[in-house]
């Protein structure tokens, strides 16, 4: 029976895990309308100018700027209106000296015109347009390619598609876009004592919690959870499900809260691959296991719900982020500790807290409790070299809501 | 032709919009595995204790605590081991004076036992277990209902289901959960000049950008975009699509960048409902329209991509949040302004910026440019009473990544 005496530090555990993972190179072709928050797998080179043509930036009259020279409020220049161009039309009229064409914002500039006099600086009687203000060449005109030049690199491989970037791809007329595939996370509940929610609970059994919290976390990170059926604590069953699950990008076992159960998993992993570590100097979440099997990272999470979920926030999320080519932005707030909390030198502590205004109140009950996490708004980290956080001390709370940004 | 002379302030525009929206009361029943980030529509009352039974919190020996009195490292108490209980089993053995049962973490405490001696404080030879440390009644035991009491309210209506809260519902054995429906946002592109990405671009036309940026924003907020086909700038067509779109929770028209086009939409809205405002003192995004038709909010967004998207961040997101029973947490960073920026007194300005380390560089080109937003990391707000932001001045940048929290 192993008692997890050889634990490693949390930072080493995280570093070791991340070293064994590489950003996914698999590519998917998606409709642009489904691509928000995905990561570009190719540089995007513009195949057209944006805007595609010189266009009016204001409602008004398209003119030859030289014809407006000297126009003033009391000395207007009068031009003959020879037509009108709406947005979306291609103008057939050309501007000749002394003439102008009424034009809508966004419409194509007619041939020979080089500026727009805004409607507010004009007056129109029949076909006679009085221009009360002169315009420079190019005034109130957006030139073709001014926003995006044909042939330029608009967005680069690795950029996360925010709504604004999706818009740039739309402006280029792209219907599809190539992005990196999302990480597939296999979640395998183990333990003879656990029962799937919705089923009748037999005496001595408890409902599966960890598959649900981890699956929710994986989804909210934007990755894809693949939940396996509950597997009993025997080596053959675990070996079988492991073989199936290795097709995914990362494999996570949950459960096995007792030392004996953990031994079953560690034996299977030793037999099929290499165990990188088994035990982290962190509270809660010490009995966490990391192995490499057939080139894939396999994590064994602690069976206790709070331990499992805090370690998933601390270890599984950075792993997913790396596979996904992103960083997660975990919103943080500064708070004052609501009461004195003790910790242990040499061991990192994740303490779930509930926010009460600017006060952070410890929400931790025990590793086995699910309500520690259910009623918490976030958690604080108490470093390895800190043994006490005093009441009123300032702490940084990492909140349980995730956003993403380009890494 | 209306020139939007009667503009209202941004804060009034936002307040007016939100006053006319109520959190959705529609309820959906979802599988728990699909419920992360959704909002509970009912209080959750526990129908069982969690844990459901008294259980061992450690691997060790279940004992009658009285039998361990006086046990010390050099004076162990010796008990007779009468069996073993694994997690998931229901123990048939009862503890009689002088006996103990080996027990795994999470296993049911046998009848008459009231404490667990941890394995590290024992030594076992055949059936003789030496106990080197006494235990108090209840030590290393988690009592039935200690985490969640049967009959108690575990989570309340209106709570956003974080992974931890999903876990609490799983612990109660719930397979389904009732949550509020997601807001449906109708997005209607209008304009004779716009073409759907993927189609050939005829002369004088441009690709639709706004439907794509807004749809991406709506999706990333967790709401449901319903994108309509491009509608030309005529009253009959707009009236027809409006009639269809009113089945959704909020209707958003995009396009109509010229004054004439805006008139078409405003006429249709006046005829069918009440226009609340048409013009906001904000840059960019002045020509924004808000109306009520058949009790539904209808927004007319400016046609220019940057104007449309900044106003969507500033107005549409809070509207969606209210419909959704949540607040969006928009991550903010402090930065120093990279160059002097002028603004106009009396008008709020949204300025897209690109982050370069701790420096915020203005990314704004012109309202018609999409790259302003595509290359920006976020935006700053320059208040109505500020006419200049100096180079080096500290600003708060709202980043373009969204997270959610319970409102």
Which of A169, A204, A209 has the CB atom closest to B88's CB atom? A204
* Average pLDDT over chain A, rounded to an integer: 93
Q: How far apart are CA B61 and CA B138, in angstroms?
A: 13
In tens, the pLDDT along A201-248 reads 999 999 999 999 999 999 999 999 999 999 988 899 999 999 999 999
In the numeric block, which tokens belong to residue A319? 């792993």
Task: Spell out which residues of chain B touch residue A144, defining contact as CB-CB under 8 Å.
Answer: none
Please name the residue that has the structure tokens 């960073």.
B333
Same domain, A39 and A78: no
**Domain extent at residue A69:** 55-142
Q: Do B213 and A261 touch (CB under 8 A)?
A: no
Helix residue ranges, H only, B158-287: 163-171, 210-220, 235-245, 259-272
Q: Do B162 and A366 touch (CB under 8 A)?
A: no
Residue B194 three-state SS? strand
Partner A, chain B 95-134, Cβ-Cβ below 8 Å: 104-108, 119-120
Q: Do B59 and A259 touch (CB under 8 A)?
A: yes
Q: Do A258 and B48 touch (CB under 8 A)?
A: no
> Cα dihedral sign for B15, B19, B21, B23?
positive
More confident residue, A402 or B124: B124
Predicted pLDDT of residue A1: 40
Same domain, A369 and A343: yes
Q: Do B195 and A173 touch (CB under 8 A)?
A: yes
Task: Spell out which residues of chain B touch residue A257, defining contact as CB-CB under 8 Å.
Answer: 87, 105-106
Domain contains B153: no
Neighbouring C-beta atoms of residue B26, cutoff 10 Å? 11
Predicted pLDDT of residue A150: 98
Does an H or E element contain A268, and which?
Answer: helix A259-272
| DSSP β-bridge partners for residue B379 | B352, B398
CB pairs under 8 A between A and B: 344
Of A46, A316, A307, A1, the C-alpha closest to A174 is A46
Chain B CB within 8 Å of residue A374 CB:
yes
Q: Do B370 and A194 touch (CB under 8 A)?
A: no
Strands annotated E in B33-119: 44-45, 55-56, 60-63, 77-85, 99-103, 115-118
* CATH number of residue B21's parent domain: 3.40.980.10
The alpha carbon torsion through B279, B374, B339, A115 (nearest 10 deg) reads -60
Same domain, A44 and A160: yes
- B380-383, long-range: CB within 8 Å, 24+ apart, which pairs? B380/B337, B380/B350, B380/B351, B380/B353, B381/B348, B381/B349, B381/B350, B381/B351, B382/B341, B382/B343, B382/B348, B382/B349, B382/B351, B383/B348
Q: How far apart are CA A1 and CA A72, in angstroms?
A: 95
In tens, the pLDDT along A157-196 reads 999 999 999 999 999 999 999 999 999 999 999 988 899 9
In the numeric block, which tokens belong to residue B380? 């700053």
Q: How far apart are CA B34 and CA B176, in angstroms?
A: 9
Neighbouring C-beta atoms of residue A73, cutoff 10 Å? 8
Cis peptide bond prior to B179, omega within 30° of 0: no
Averaged over A74-103, what is the pLDDT?
95
Query: Into how many domains does chain A fold?
Result: 4
Same domain, B346 and B364: yes
Chain A CB within 8 Å of residue B351 CB:
no
Per-residue buried b or exposed e for B270-285, using 16+ beta carbons within 10 Å of the residue's own CB: eebbebbbbbbbbbbb
Q: How far apart are CA B226 and CA B239, in angstroms?
A: 17
Domain contains A1: no
Domain contains A115: yes
Domain contains B393: yes
Same domain, B281 and B254: yes
User: Could you report the predicted ipTM of this complex, rounded to two decimals?
Assistant: 0.93
Does an H or E element contain A124, and which?
Answer: strand A122-125
Residue A50 C-alpha, separation from nearest chain B C-alpha, in angstroms = 8
In the numeric block, which tokens belong to residue B75? 């004076």
- Evaluate if residue A62 carries a pLDDT over 50: yes
Chain B CB within 8 Å of residue A369 CB:
yes
Neighbouring C-beta atoms of residue A27, cutoff 10 Å? 12
Please list the pLDDT of chain B residue by residue as tens digits (407 residues): 345 567 899 999 999 999 999 999 999 999 999 999 999 999 999 999 999 999 999 999 999 999 999 999 999 999 999 999 998 899 999 999 999 999 998 899 999 999 999 999 999 998 999 999 999 999 999 999 999 999 999 999 999 999 999 999 999 999 999 999 999 999 999 988 899 999 999 999 999 999 999 999 999 999 999 999 999 888 999 999 999 999 999 999 998 655 666 689 999 999 999 999 999 999 998 889 999 999 999 999 998 899 999 999 999 999 999 999 998 878 888 999 999 999 999 999 999 999 999 999 999 887 778 898 999 999 999 999 999 999 999 999 998 866 655 55
| DSSP β-bridge partners for residue B40 | B179
Residue B265 three-state SS? helix
Does an H or E element contain B184, and which?
Answer: strand B184-189
* CATH number of residue A155's parent domain: 3.90.105.10
Please name the residue that has the structure tokens 């009285």.
B66
Q: How far apart are CA A167 and CA A180, in angstroms?
A: 19
Domain contains A290: yes
Domain contains B151: no
Q: Do A163 and B53 touch (CB under 8 A)?
A: no
Partner A, chain B 178-237, Cβ-Cβ below 8 Å: 191-195, 197-199, 201-217, 219-220, 227
Same domain, B168 and B191: no
Contact B81, B110 (CB under 8 A): no
Domain's final residue, options A298, A329, A360: A329
Of B95, B171, B104, B172, the C-alpha closest to B140 is B104
Residue B375 C-alpha, separation from nearest chain A C-alpha, in angstroms = 7
Partner A, chain B 273-312, Cβ-Cβ below 8 Å: 303, 305, 309, 312
Q: Do B163 and A1 touch (CB under 8 A)?
A: no
Task: Spell out which residues of chain B touch residue A303, defining contact as CB-CB under 8 Å.
Answer: 105-106
Of B263, B290, B233, B269, the C-alpha closest to B3 is B263
What are the angstrom distances between the C-alpha of A12 and each of A295, A306, A315, B264? Answer: 20, 21, 11, 64
Q: How far apart are CA B193 and CA B184, in angstroms?
A: 27
Domain contains B365: yes
Please name the residue that has the structure tokens 């598609």.
A161
- B5 by Cβ neighbours in 10 Å (0-12 / 13-18 / 19+) ranks as exposed
Nearest 5°: the CA angle A171, B369, A117 is 120
Domain's final residue, options A279, A309, A329: A329
Task: Spell out which residues of chain A touch residue B202, defining contact as CB-CB under 8 Å.
Answer: 90
Predicted pLDDT of residue B9: 95
Of A63, A59, A57, the C-alpha closest to A130 is A63
* CATH number of residue B385's parent domain: 2.40.340.10
> Cα dihedral sign for B40, B41, B46, B47?
negative
| DSSP β-bridge partners for residue B224 | B184
Task: Spell out which residues of chain B touch residue A355, defining contact as CB-CB under 8 Å.
Answer: none
Same domain, B195 and B312: yes
Chain B CB within 8 Å of residue A45 CB:
no
Residue B178 three-state SS? strand
Domain contains A250: yes
Chain B CB within 8 Å of residue A57 CB:
yes
Strands B44-45 and B55-56: unpaired
Same domain, B309 and B364: no
Same domain, A61 and A100: yes
In tens, the pLDDT along A326-367 reads 988 788 889 999 999 999 999 999 999 999 999 999 998 877
Q: How far apart are CA A3 and CA B187, in angstroms?
A: 59
Chain B CB within 8 Å of residue A334 CB:
no
Q: How far apart are CA B107 and CA B101, in angstroms?
A: 11
Same domain, A33 and A172: yes
Q: How far apart are CA B185 and CA B246, in angstroms?
A: 10
Q: Do B373 and A303 touch (CB under 8 A)?
A: no
Please name the residue that has the structure tokens 């503009």.
B7
- Evaluate if residue A403 carries a pLDDT over 80: no
- Evaluate if residue A404 carries a pLDDT over 80: no
Same domain, B243 and B209: yes
Task: Spell out which residues of chain A touch residue B370, defining contact as CB-CB under 8 Å.
Answer: 50, 147-148, 164, 167-168, 170-171
* CATH number of residue A71's parent domain: 2.170.190.11
- Evaluate if residue A405 carries a pLDDT over 80: no
Domain's final residue, options B310, B329, B348: B329
Predicted pLDDT of residue A258: 56
Partner A, chain B 246-275, Cβ-Cβ below 8 Å: 257-261
| Nearest-by-CA chain B residue for A169 | B209
Same domain, A239 and A315: yes
Contact B133, A182 (CB under 8 A): no
Residue A308 C-alpha, separation from nearest chain B C-alpha, in angstroms = 11
| Nearest-by-CA chain A residue for B120 | A3
Residue B314 C-alpha, separation from nearest chain A C-alpha, in angstroms = 14
Of B218, B68, B45, B203, the C-alpha closest to B135 is B68
Please name the residue that has the structure tokens 């491989």.
A157
Of A297, A196, A287, the C-alpha closest to A245 is A297
In the numeric block, which tokens belong to residue B217? 């924003």
């Amino acid at each position: 029976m192993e008692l997890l005496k050889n634990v490693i530090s949390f930072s080493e555990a995280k570093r070791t895990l991340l070293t064994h993972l590489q950003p996914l190179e698999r590519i998917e072709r998606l409709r642009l309308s489904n691509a928000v928050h995905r990561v570009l797998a190719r540089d995007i080179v513009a195949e057209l100018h944006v805007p595609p043509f010189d266009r009016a930036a204001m409602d008004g009259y398209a003119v030859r700027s030289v014809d407006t020279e000297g126009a003033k409020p009391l000395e207007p220049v009068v031009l003959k209106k020879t037509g009108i161009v709406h947005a979306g039309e291609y103008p057939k009229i050309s501007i000749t000296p002394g003439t102008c064409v009424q034009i809508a914002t966004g419409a194509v500039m007619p041939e020979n015109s080089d500026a727009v006099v805004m409607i507010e600086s004009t007056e129109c009687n029949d076909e006679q347009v009085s221009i009360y203000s002169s315009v420079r060449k190019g005034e109130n005109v957006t030139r073709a390619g001014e926003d995006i030049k044909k042939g330029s690199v608009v967005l680069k491989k690795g950029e996360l598609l925010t709504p604004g970037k999706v818009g740039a791809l739309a402006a280029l007329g792209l219907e599809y876009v190539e992005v990196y595939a999302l990480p597939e996370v296999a979640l395998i509940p183990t333990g003879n004592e656990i029962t799937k929610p919705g089923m009748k609970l037999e005496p001595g059994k408890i409902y599966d919690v960890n598959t649900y919290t981890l699956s929710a976390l994986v989804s909210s990170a934007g990755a894809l959870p693949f939940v396996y059926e509950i597997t009993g604590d025997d080596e053959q069953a675990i070996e079988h499900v492991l073989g199936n699950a290795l097709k995914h990008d990362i494999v996570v076992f949950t459960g096995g809260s007792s030392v004996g159960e953990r031994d079953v998993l560690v034996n299977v992993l030793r037999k099929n691959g290499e165990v990188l570590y088994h035990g982290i100097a962190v509270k809660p979440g010490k009995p966490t296991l990391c192995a490499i099997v057939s080139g894939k990272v396999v994590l064994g999470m602690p069976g206790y719900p709070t331990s499992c979920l805090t370690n998933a926030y601390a270890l599984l999320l950075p792993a997913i982020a790396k596979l996904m080519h992103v960083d997660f932005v975990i919103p943080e707030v500064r708070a004052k500790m609501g009461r004195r909390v003790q910790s242990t030198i040499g061991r990192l502590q994740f303490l779930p807290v509930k926010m009460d205004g600017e006060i952070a109140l410890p929400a931790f009950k025990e590793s086995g409790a699910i309500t520690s996490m259910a009623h918490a708004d976030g958690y604080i980290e108490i470093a390895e070299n800190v043994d006490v956080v005093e009441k009123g001390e300032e702490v940084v709370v990492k909140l349980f809501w995730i956003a993403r940004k380009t890494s």
